[in-house]
Amino acid sequence: MTTYKLLIDGQMVDGDAVMDVINPATEEVLAQCPRASKAQLDKAVAAAKAAFPAWSRTSPAERKKALNAIADIVEANAAELGRLLTQEQGKPLKDAIGEAYGLAAFCRYFTSMDLPRKVLEDSEGRKVETLRKPLGVIGAIVPWNFPLILIGLKLPAALLAGNTVVLKPAPTTPLTTLRLAELIKDVLPPGVLNVITDANDLGAAMTAHPDVRKISFTGSSATGKKVMAGAAETLKRITLELGGNDAGIVLDDVNPKTAAQGIFDGAFQNSGQVCIAMKRLYVHESIYDEMCDELAALASASVVGDGLEQGTQIGPLQNRMQFDKVKEIIEDARKHGTVMAGGAGPEKGFFIRPTIVRDITDGTRLVDEEQFGPVLPVIKYSDPEDALVRANASPYGLGGSVWSSDVDRAIGFAERMDAGTVWVNKHIDLAPHIPFGGAKQSGIGVEMGEEGLAEFTQLQVINIAR
């Protein structure tokens, strides 16, 4: 069995304890993982703090060289990283390898960016300049649905800005991150990147740590509220990318046969375990039955299985807790709607087949909660304005989409959706240069793009008398 270690101050070290990592497709122990103690967290933060002065003084060119080196290593080991990711996360192997390449692409993208000094005023009376300075130690907390690509939203920007990092993956998917740390540890000076793991017991200590200057957290809204509260004592910077209950609105001029595949993909990618997945679909009554039938056919035809098996399109849910939650929500939905396709899979493994539920409406768990699994409620409406009001009624506001054969009409609705990102005639389309952030209880701050890079810096104004 492969041995995994923490990365602290440039050294791969054992944890003060160990924990099992489960393969969600087999429910068997995949590996034992080190589990860091509070003392090891403190060592990691101390190492990052000690490394910060020298790293913050390096040139942008040196930092970019390091990011390109990381990208090279990730690409060279993408097959290994992808296979390990599939085993601990569950997603199909092709998607997992693609996620590794995605991390490399994020690293390369940030090498194209700069944080230039800007002159706001250069007059007879004064000169005013702004500059972006690194913050210090960044605590990066990554969830279990996209362990590698979400590192790409945090680590490259943090390093390019001149910060040092303590990275904590989710306890159910730590292995790929630990292997990544081992592969790239010599690219960076000791302490610039540290990787620790826990059993969901060190997040509060990291968030409240006085030497951590910023927390970049991706995860549930409930945990995000705890992160925000923990950061309040030291008023540290936070970026929170949280949960969503993304609505899709299908207008009456849509052809269900041509739109169904895009809608299905937007709902069921990664077994629905995507913060910005479509989680409820409002369809006009004139095309409701046909759309439900098309989606149910796609659900029934999808290939569900172990992500390592050839042809698998939908893998298992990642962990027992999420599996049980989604099964509960499906059973509740049976009381309020009609399950057209899907439901629980084989007895072994955390499998749930893509599930379409029709004849359901707002006020039920499936519609009002974030299911974070392969279940899509299809809700009938007669008035598009009413559908928009219902879509906006959620406390979440991460993403959304509008579907129409008239793009201008769709844009008119999209602009009135209360969400950080709204797509037209597609759902889930992200890229490193496009900023991403949520509205309402779906988050604070922005990741990716120039705006995302700026969030890892402190703006300083130099105001000079003349």
For the annotated catalytic residues, the residue numbers are 241, 275
- Which of 372, 373, 370, 389 has its CA nearest to residue 381? 389
How many CA atoms within 13 Å lie on the side-chain side of 419? 30
User: Rounded CA gap, 335 and 357, in Å?
Assistant: 11
Count of residues making up the chain: 466
What single letter denotes the amino acid at residue 272? G
Provide the strand spans (E) within 126-185: 126-134, 137-141, 164-168
Q: Which residue matches tokens 């749930």?
A: 352
What single letter denotes the amino acid at residue 145? N
93-110 vs 78-89: helix axis angle to the nearest 10? 120
User: Rounded CA gap, 67 and 89, in Å?
Assistant: 25
- Which of 443, 7, 374 has its CA nearest to residue 190? 7
Look up residue 11 and give its two tokens.
């050294």
Per DSSP, what are the bridge partners of residue 34? 18
Yes or no: say if 244 and 368 are a contact pair by the CB < 8 Å rule. Answer: no
Look up residue 325 and give its two tokens.
């939650």
Instruction: Count CB-CB contacts under 10 A for residue 226.
Output: 15
Yes or no: say if 244 and 428 are a contact pair by the CB < 8 Å rule. Answer: no
